[in-house]
RNA sequence: GGGCCCGUAGCUCAGUGGACAGAGUGCUUGGUUCCGGACCAAGAUGUCGCGGGUUCAAAUCCCGUCGGGUCCGCCA
């Protein structure tokens, strides 16, 4: 209902300003502080005071006088508080919210008939996913979820870099070395942990090996790259053997989050179908194209990008960026919008890509990036697959689940609720809480800020954490388990207690939160919302008995309110990719 | 050195033109005959990195500066 009342408020202010013959370019609509009783407010009187020649409070009063709340469904009253015009919700606002939130799908916005492809993670298939990379699937999945909730037709893509130099090195190393050459056992019994050893071995050899042998290896690697460029099927098969195996392992790891994809798009596909060659030809025709030191480049200096973008190597092979251009034109053909979630280290490359796409005649407004900053280890240490430094995501998830299991077992004794948990329940809760805590810790922060990864902090199960908000959901379920059915068509008017009203107000805001999070591609605002929601719910829970409420009408209304709260919390958590436990 | 991002309570973070700058954590104290105590209540905490500027109004916008991150490969 928040979105509806927001529209009504905008219309009301606009009409009032029109009637007063004042400009309507900025309505100054904002959400008032907590202690103000309004759902929305306007600070427009500040701006118009000079024009009108009256003090802001007077202007605010004039605007308020001009608005008749009876003409609006969800605006109950218009008041002023100094220079602010406040809009109070009507009884219909509460009724409509309570009713709308009975739907399990509450918070889903109407279908927009617009497709969006969200590309995220796209980590090179070189080895195990480490925590430094984990921010990408967690944020990316949440961005996709939020867009999905907001009514877009969402596809999740993982772009597989299967044609670059790194994969040529990996393929060479995989074919050249034997188990006996490797000096360590796999850290885990899964394929990418096995194969990454070859990749590390190969890189170490290229760095420190005897000059002659390194030269021979380079020739071999060069041969693989040329083969791919020429569209040679055999070469492709050789590389694929490595890529597909490593990727399948990484996929298993990501599925634990879970982060699932609709499609794994291989960059080699844009070499085989000729679109990269075609793109190179078109790039050469651009005024910005220059041929320097035997390589074709794009001079983007006049667009504020100092670094020239090489798109064809002197040996005639294409680069990652070249293929990515073809990839993006393919996205534009198939989707209305394209969102890419990528690390800040790819920022320059993304800017170059966008500029080049624009020069090629694409509408780059349909392309948006979500940039996230690094996850560092304490002491400022980075994480690298090639060097083998960093915490594996698998280890983090294992540790999180283990700690959560300990926690559940520890709490068993002092547990008030007498619903004997089975071994299966304990395992489920450990999983939901442990993984949820990791995701929530990462998704709840602004992606642009760097994170220092610390075990204790990431796995703190109290306070502003996943378990804290998950607990609210479990409490809702606990209450609803005790009732035969949720009453239909209840009257929100009997919810007189302030705490129940406050809860209904917070529930009402949820679709608006989704709407804004989708518009700004900022899922962390949903996490902030779940915290506020939990606080409001807990206050309600403390003050308002549900099952033993004073009379049937109140009990019915409160049961419906709890059902509404449950749907809201379940869906908010779902957009964050955090499980909503029915008990914990 | 240049571009971009970040700097808010001891710590981890919300807030990015508008009502007195907010949570959690940590510290102190209290609360389960009552729907789930992974909860709640009460108490102290700030040069919003620093200096200018714009504005009726700045943590928020602009300029400068300091500190941290990141990029500046014919890697991805």
For A326-365, how does the pLDDT look when each residue is reduced to its tens digit (9 = 90+)? 999 999 999 999 999 999 999 999 999 999 999 999 999 9
Residue A381 pLDDT > 70: no
pLDDT at residue A451, as a whole number: 80
* Best CA proximity match to A61, nearest among A46, A41, A83, A40: A83
- Give the residue carrying structure tokens 């927001």: A6
- Nucleotide with C1' nearest the A44 CA: B18
Q: Report CA torsion sign: A21, A26, A31, A35.
A: negative
pLDDT tens by residue, A133-191: 889 999 999 999 999 999 999 999 999 999 888 999 999 999 999 999 998 899 999 99
* Best CA proximity match to A494, nearest among A453, A538, A536, A550: A550
Distance A451 CA to B7 C1' (A): 13
pLDDT at residue A422, as a whole number: 87
3-state helix, strand, coil in chain A (%, to 5): 55, 10, 30
Q: Report CA torsion sign: A394, A400, A406, A411.
A: negative
Nearest residue to nucleotide B20 when comparing alpha carbons to its C1'?
Answer: A33
pLDDT at residue A388, as a whole number: 65
DSSP secondary structure letters along A390-448 = S-BHHHHHHHHHHHHHHHHHHHHTT--S--PPPHHHHHHHHHHHHHHHHHHHHHTS-TT
- When mean pLDDT is compared across A9-18, A458-467, A494-503, the lowest value belongs to A458-467
Distance A295 CA to B24 C1' (A): 55
Nearest residue to nucleotide B13 when comparing alpha carbons to its C1'?
Answer: A445
pLDDT at residue A38, as a whole number: 93
Chain B footprint bases within 7 A of protein beta carbons: 2-7, 12-16, 18-20, 22-26, 32, 34-41, 56-57, 68-76
Residue A5 pLDDT > 80: yes
Residue A383 pLDDT > 60: yes
Residue A505 pLDDT > 80: yes
pLDDT tens by residue, A521-569: 999 999 999 999 999 999 999 999 999 888 899 999 999 999 999 999 9
Over chain A, what is the mean pLDDT? 92
DSSP state of A110: P
Distance CA A56, CA A288 (A): 54
Distance A449 CA to B50 C1' (A): 21
Distance A516 CA to B64 C1' (A): 35
Q: Are the beta carbons of A502 and A89 closer than 8 angstroms?
A: no
- Nucleotide with C1' nearest the A307 CA: B72
- Nucleotide with C1' nearest the A479 CA: B35
Rg of chain A taking only CA atoms, in angstroms: 28
Q: Mean pLDDT over residues A266-291, rounded?
A: 94
Nearest residue to nucleotide B31 when comparing alpha carbons to its C1'?
Answer: A542
- When mean pLDDT is compared across A185-189, A221-225, A489-493, the lowest value belongs to A489-493
pLDDT at residue A35, as a whole number: 83
pLDDT at residue A378, as a whole number: 61
- Give the residue carrying structure tokens 């219309």: A11
pLDDT at residue A389, as a whole number: 66
- Predicted TM-score (pTM) of the model is 0.94
Residue A380 pLDDT > 60: no
Q: Are the beta carbons of A136 and A99 closer than 8 angstroms?
A: no
Q: Mean pLDDT over residues A47-73, rounded?
A: 93
Distance A28 CA to B61 C1' (A): 17
pLDDT at residue A550, as a whole number: 81
Residue A219 pLDDT > 70: yes
Distance A527 CA to B14 C1' (A): 10
Reported as a pLDDT band with limits 50, 70 and 90, residue A387 is: low
Distance A316 CA to B74 C1' (A): 10
Nearest residue to nucleotide B70 when comparing alpha carbons to its C1'?
Answer: A345
Q: What is the ipTM of this complex?
A: 0.95
Tell me the pairing of strands A84-89 and A75-81. Answer: antiparallel
Reported as a pLDDT band with limits 50, 70 and 90, residue A4 is: very high
- Nucleotide with C1' nearest the A547 CA: B35
Distance A21 CA to B33 C1' (A): 66
Neighbours of A188 (CB within 10 A): 16
Reported as a pLDDT band with limits 50, 70 and 90, residue A581 is: very high
Distance CA A364, CA A76 (A): 43
- Provide the percentage of residues in chain A whose pLDDT is more than 90: 78
């Amino acid at each position: 209902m928040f979105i509806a009342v927001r529209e009504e408020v905008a219309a009301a202010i606009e009409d009032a300003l029109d009637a007063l013959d004042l400009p309507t370019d900025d309505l100054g609509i904002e959400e008032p502080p907590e202690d103000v009783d309004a759902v929305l407010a306007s600070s427009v009187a500040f701006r118009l005071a000079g024009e009108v020649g009256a003090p802001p409070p007077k202007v605010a009063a004039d605007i308020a006088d001009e608005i008749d709340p009876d003409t609006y469904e969800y605006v109950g009253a218009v008041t002023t508080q100094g220079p602010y015009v406040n809009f109070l919700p009507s009884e219909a606002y509460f009724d409509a919210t309570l009713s709308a939130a009975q739907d399990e799908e509450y918070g889903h916005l109407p279908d927009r008939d617009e497709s969006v492809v969200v590309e995220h993670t796209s980590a090179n298939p070189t080895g195990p996913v480490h925590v430094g990379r984990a921010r990408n699937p967690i944020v990316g999945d949440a961005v996709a979820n939020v867009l999905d909730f907001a009514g877009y037709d969402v596809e999740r893509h993982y772009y597989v870099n299967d044609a670059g130099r790194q994969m040529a090195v990996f393929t060479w190393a995989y074919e050249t070395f034997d188990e006996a050459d490797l000096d360590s056992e796999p850290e885990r019994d899964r394929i990418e942990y096995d194969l990454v050893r070859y990749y590390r071995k190969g890189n170490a050899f290229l760095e420190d090996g005897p000059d002659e042998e390194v030269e021979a290896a380079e020739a071999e690697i060069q041969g693989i790259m040329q083969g791919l460029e020429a569209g040679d099927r055999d070469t492709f098969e050789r590389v694929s053997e490595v890529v597909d195996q490593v990727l399948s392992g990484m996929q298993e790891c990501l599925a634990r989050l879970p982060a699932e994809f609709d499609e794994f798009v291989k960059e080699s596909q844009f070499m085989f179908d000729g679109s990269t060659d075609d793109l190179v030809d078109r790039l050469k025709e651009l005024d910005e194209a220059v041929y320097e030191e035997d390589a074709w480049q794009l001079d983007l200096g006049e667009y504020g990008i100092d670094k020239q973008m090489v798109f064809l190597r002197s040996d005639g092979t294409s680069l990652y960026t070249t293929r990515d251009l073809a990839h993006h034109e393919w996205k534009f053909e198939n989707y209305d919008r394209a969102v890419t979630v990528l690390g800040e280290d790819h920022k320059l490359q993304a800017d170059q890509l966008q500029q080049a796409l624009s020069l090629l005649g694409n509408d780059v407004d349909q392309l948006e990036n979500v940039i996230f900053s690094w996850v560092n280890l304490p002491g400022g240490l980075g994480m690298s697959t090639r060097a083998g430094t960093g915490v594996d995501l698998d280890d983090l998830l294992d540790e999180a689940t283990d700690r959560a299991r300990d926690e559940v077992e520890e709490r068993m004794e002092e547990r008030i609720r007498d619903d004997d948990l089975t071994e299966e329940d304990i395992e489920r809760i450990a999983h939901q809480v442990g993984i949820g805590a990791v995701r929530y810790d990462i998704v709840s922060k602004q992606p642009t800020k760097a994170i220092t990864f610390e075990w204790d902090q990431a796995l703190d199960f109290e306070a502003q954490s996943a378990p804290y908000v998950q607990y609210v959901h479990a409490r809702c379920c606990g209450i609803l388990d005790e009732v035969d059915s949720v009453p239909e068509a209840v009257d929100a008017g009997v919810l007189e207690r302030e705490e129940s009203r406050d809860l209904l107000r917070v529930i009402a805001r949820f679709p608006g939160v989704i709407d804004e999070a989708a518009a700004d591609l900022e899922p962390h605002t949903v996490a902030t919302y779940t915290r506020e929601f939990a606080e409001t719910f807990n206050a309600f829970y403390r003050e308002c008995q549900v099952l033993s409420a004073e009379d049937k009408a109140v009990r019915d209304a409160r049961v419906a309110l709890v059902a509404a709260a449950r749907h809201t919390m379940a869906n908010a958590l779902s957009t964050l990719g955090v499980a909503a436990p029915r008990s914990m």
